[in-house]
Chain A
Amino acid sequence: MTDRSVRDKGDSRGGRGRGAPRGGGGRGGGAKGGAKTIVEPHRHAGIFVARGKEDMLVTKNLSPGVSVYGEKRISVENSSGADDTVSKTEYRVWNPFRSKLAAGVLGGLDEIFIKPGAKVLYLGAASGTSVSHVADIVGPTGTVFAVEFSHRSGRDLINMATHRTNVIPIIEDARHPLKYRMLVSMVDVIFADVAQPDQARIVGLNAHLFLKVGGGVVVSIKANCIDSTAAPEAVFAREVTKLREERIKPLEQLTLEPFERDHAMVVGRYVRSTT
C-alpha cells in the first residue's frame, strides 16, 4: 500500500462539535496542514501505523467523518489508478495511554487474536472508546459483543454502537453470562478489562459458554484492583494460575510500561478438553 496523506483532521477536544461560527471552527489541526504521513499496515492485521513526525498507531475508521471521543483522524489518499480517480481512507489515532489494548500492541504482543472478520467478546467495554477501535480492526465482517454493566458508560456505548453496526452493546453484568446468552454467538476471542478482583473467574465463565476451542483470551490485569498489598509480579503470577485453572493456556505476559503502571496483559488460548 502506498498511501499519501493529505492532512490531519479533528481538533484537540470534542471531535463532534464543529461549526463554531468564530474561533475554533473548521479544522483544528490546521497548523499541520501539509504534513505528509504515510500509513503502513502493522504486523497485526487490521491495525496500521501512521508514520509522520512521530509514529502513531491507527485503525481504519468504520464510520468516516466521525470521531468517537475526540481522537484525531487522518485522511489518506490512496494511490490513484490510471484514470486519476482518487479514493480516500480515513484512519483514527489509537492512543496507547487511553487504551490498554493499544499499549499491549505497542509493547509487542505476539498474538492478539483480534483481526479482520473475528468475533470478539469484550468484557468491560466502558464508554466504548477502545471498543470502537476493536470494531475498526475486525471490520464489517467481524462482530464485537461489548459487555458493560455501568448504565452511565452504557449510554455512551450504545450511542457509539449506533454508528458501528458491528458492535452489539450488552448492558449486563459479565459475572452472569447466562443472562446475555441469547445475544452472543461463539466467539474467536475474549478480551477482558473489567478491573475486578475476580476477573479470571469472570473470563472463565464466559469462555466456557462462548469461546471456541482454541480461541484466544486477552486480559488486562491491574495489580491494584486484585490485591493492593502484594507485589504486582506476584499478583500477575497468581492470575495466570487462575486462568490456567479455567483451562486457559497462557501464551505470553507483558507489562504495560510506560503507558500504565503495574498493569499486565496476559494472552492465552482456550483448551477446553481436559484430556
Chain B
Amino acid sequence: MAAVDYLLHESAVGYAIFQVVHQADTIGNRLKEVQDAGQDLAKFGKMVKVVGFAPYRTAAEALENVNLVSEGVMSDYLRSELELNLPKPSKKKKIVLGVSDKTLAGSIKASFPGIECETGDTSEVVGDLLRGLRFHAGKLLVKLQEGDVDRAQLGLGHAYSRAKVKFSVQKNDNHIIQAIATLDHLDKAVNTFSMRVREWYGWHFPELVRIVSDNHTYAKLALAIGDKQTLTQDSLHDIAALVNDDGDLAQAVIDAARVSMGQAISDADMENVSAFANRVVKLAEYRKSLYQYLVDKMAIVAPNLATLIGEVVAARLISHAGSLTNLSKYPASTVQILGAEKALFRALKTKGNTPKYGLIYHSSFIGRAGAKNKGRISRFLANKCSIASRIDNFSEDPNTKFGEALRKQVEERLDFYATGTAPTKNEDAMRSAMDAVLGDIQIDDIPMTDAAPQSEKKEKKSKDKKDKDSKKDKKRRHSEVNGDEEAVEKKKKKKSKKESSSD
C-alpha cells in the first residue's frame, strides 16, 4: 500500500485538493494517528494542506457537477482542477490520490496515467483522512465563510432531489391552494371596504346607493363623480361608461346629484374619500385578475376537475385535501362530504343523519336538483369528481376531454331525475371520451390520460391485453390502441355497477 500524497474532497461548494503533508513512520501507527486526529482540527490541520479549491460558480454548475460525481464521472471542471494542482509525476513514482468513490477513481486514472488512486475501501487511512476532510473542510478552506457549506447543501439538496422526482413547477398545486385562499380573503376585504366607501361617500351623496347597488360599480362612480356639484349633463357619457352604457341609469345619477340632500364636502375630505375609493377599485380589479390566474392555473393542473365542477369549487376541493394528490387518493364518499367534517362527526356522535354534501354543494348542479334528489346527485357528482381528480393527477399532460364527458353525464343524470330521459350508457360516454383523447394523441403524439404509460408501450400491452380481453369481455374487438381504453373502462364498469346498485 503506497502512502497517499493527495486527497480529493468533493462537496456542495466545489472541489478541493489537499496535500498530505505529515507522513507517519509506520503504517500501524498511521491509522491510529489519523483516527485520533480526525475530529481535532488543530491536529488534523497539521496533516493536510489545501493546494487547490475550485468552487462552483453557479447553481447550475453545482448541480451538473454533483450529478456527474454521483455517477462517478469526472467533469471537465474537475479535470482542469486536477491538472492545475497536482504536480507532474516522475517516471519512477506515481502520485497517489485519495478519492471517495472507486468509479470516479477509475475515470481519473483513465485520463491521468501518472496518478494512482486509493479509496476508503482499499486503504483505511484514506477513509479516515477523507472523513477528516468532511469534518474540517469548511474551516480548512479559508475562502469559505461560516454557513457557506450548509447553505450550499440545502440549495443543492433541493435541486438534486427535485430533478430526481421530476418535480414539475408548472403543475405545482400549492399555488392553487394559495390563490383560492387569497381569493376568499379578497372577496371579504373588497366587500367590507366597499361598504366603507358607501358609508363615507354617502354623507355627500346619499341618493347614489339607491340607484346603483353593486359595490364595485358604486366605488367606481364615487371615484369618477367626486364632488357631486361638479357633475353636469356633459358627464353623461363618462358616467354611462361606468354603468354598462345604461343611459337611463346615468341620467338618473346626474338628476339625483342635482337635487341631492347630501352635505357639501371640503376638498381635503373629498380627496380622502377618493383615495380610498381608488384603492378599493384597484383591489377589486386585482381580484379579477387573480381569479383569471386561478382559472388558467386550474387548466394546467386539474383541467378535468375544473371542467366538471368549475374552477372555484375544484380549487376548494384541492385546497381542503391539501393537494391534488391527496384529493385523488380519497374515496368518492369522502369527496362528497369534504368540508362538512364538523357536521359529519356531529352526526356520527349523535347517531343523526350524516351530511349529504360539503364543498361540492356550491356547484350549480346541486342547486338545480329537486329537494329529494339533492343527495343522489351529490353522490353522483362526487363519484365523477373523484374520477376527474385521478385523471388529472396521474396524467402527464391532462386535457379536458374526460371532464367534458363527465360533466355531460351529470347533466344527463339531472335530466333523468327531472324528466326520466334515460342517460347515455356509461360505457358509451367513456368510450367516446377515450376516442377523443386518442384522436389527439395521434395528431401530436403526446401520451395522455391516466393510462398514459400504457399507450407508450402500446404494442406489448395490447398483446397481453388480448388474452385478458377474450376472458373478460368478449364483446370487445379493438386492435392496436385499446390498452388505454380497457383500463379506464374497467374502472368505469365497477363504478357504474356501484352506482346503479345504490341509486
Contact = CB atoms under 8 A, between A and B. Distances in A.
Do A and B share a complex?
A: yes
A170 B164 CA distance: 9
B412 to A, nearest CB: 28
Contacts of A184: 153
Interface in B350-407: 355, 358-359, 361-362
Interface stretch (A7-15, A72-80, A97-105): A7-15
Contact of A186 (B66, B134, B157, B355): B134
B35 A24 contact: no
A19 B341 contact: no
B100 A181 contact: yes
B161 A17 contact: no
Contact of B341 (A28, A182, A183, A208): A28
Interface stretch (B268-276, B300-308, B320-328): B320-328
B120 interface: yes
A63 interface: no
Nearest to B340: A23
A12 B32 contact: no
Interface string B96-136: 00001100000000000000000010000001100100110
Interface string B161-203: 1101111000000100100110010000000000000000000
Given A155-B165, A178-B100, A183 B160 contact: yes
Given A158-B158, A169-B158, A186-B131, A14 B321 contact: yes
Interface string B324-349: 01100000000000011111010000
B438 interface: no
A169 B158 CA distance: 6
Contact of B32 (A21, A143, A169, A275): A275
B455 interface: no
Contacts of B184: 19, 21
B161 A12 contact: no
A149 B69 CA distance: 18
Interface in A168-189: 168-172, 178-186
A13 B158 CA distance: 28
A154 interface: yes
Contact of B339 (A22, A70, A209, A273): A22
Contacts of B135: 186, 212
Contact of A158 (B134, B161, B341, B358): B161
Given A14-B326, A17-B321, A19-B184, A155 B167 contact: yes
Interface in B131-160: 131, 134-135, 138, 149-150, 153-154, 156-158, 160
B177 A16 contact: yes
B44 to A, nearest CB: 12
A143 to B, nearest CB: 7
Interface string A141-181: 00101000001001101110110010011111000001111
Instruction: Please indicate which of the listed interface residues B160, B166, B325, B326 has the most CB atoms of chain A within 10 Å of its own CB.
Output: B160
A24 B342 contact: yes
A124 B100 CA distance: 23
A12 B153 contact: no
Contacts of A155: 165, 167, 325
A151 to B, nearest CB: 4
B268 to A, nearest CB: 37
A91 interface: no
Contacts of A183: 12, 66, 153, 156-157, 160
B10 interface: yes
A168 B164 contact: no
A165 B10 contact: no
Nearest to B184: A19
B134 A170 contact: no
A213 interface: yes
B316 interface: yes
Instruction: Please indicate which of the listed interface residues B39, B134, B322 has the most CB atoms of chain A within 10 Å of its own CB.
Output: B322
B100 to A, nearest CB: 6
Contacts of B149: 185
A155 B324 CA distance: 13
Range of interface residues on A (Cβ < 8 Å)? 35 or more
A20 interface: yes
B319 interface: yes
B38 interface: yes
A192 to B, nearest CB: 19
Given A151-B164, A210-B134, A159 B174 contact: yes
Interface string A21-47: 111110010000000000000000000
B339 A182 contact: no
Instruction: Please indicate which of the listed interface residues B70, B128, B358 has the most CB atoms of chain A within 10 Å of its own CB.
Output: B70
Instruction: Please indicate which of the listed interface residues B154, B165, B359 has the most CB atoms of chain A within 10 Å of its own CB.
Output: B165
B158 A182 contact: no
A21 B362 contact: yes
B358 A20 contact: yes
Nearest to A143: B150
Given A16-B319, A143-B153, A182-B11, 17 more contacts: A17-B319, A17-B322, A19-B180, A20-B339, A28-B341, A151-B166, A158-B162, A168-B154, A172-B164, A178-B70, A178-B100, A178-B101, A182-B66, A185-B138, A186-B134, A209-B134, A213-B35
24 contacts: A14-B326, A16-B319, A19-B180, A19-B181, A20-B339, A21-B362, A23-B339, A23-B341, A23-B355, A24-B339, A143-B153, A154-B164, A159-B174, A165-B154, A169-B157, A171-B160, A182-B70, A182-B156, A183-B156, A183-B157, A185-B153, A208-B120, A272-B35, A272-B128
7 closest Cβ contacts across the A-B interface? A17-B320, A168-B157, A23-B340, A20-B339, A24-B341, A171-B164, A171-B161
Interface of B: 10-12, 32, 35, 38-39, 66, 69-71, 100-101, 120, 127-128, 131, 134-135, 138, 149-150, 153-154, 156-158, 160-162, 164-167, 174, 177, 180-181, 184, 316, 319-323, 325-326, 339-343, 345, 355, 358-359, 361-362
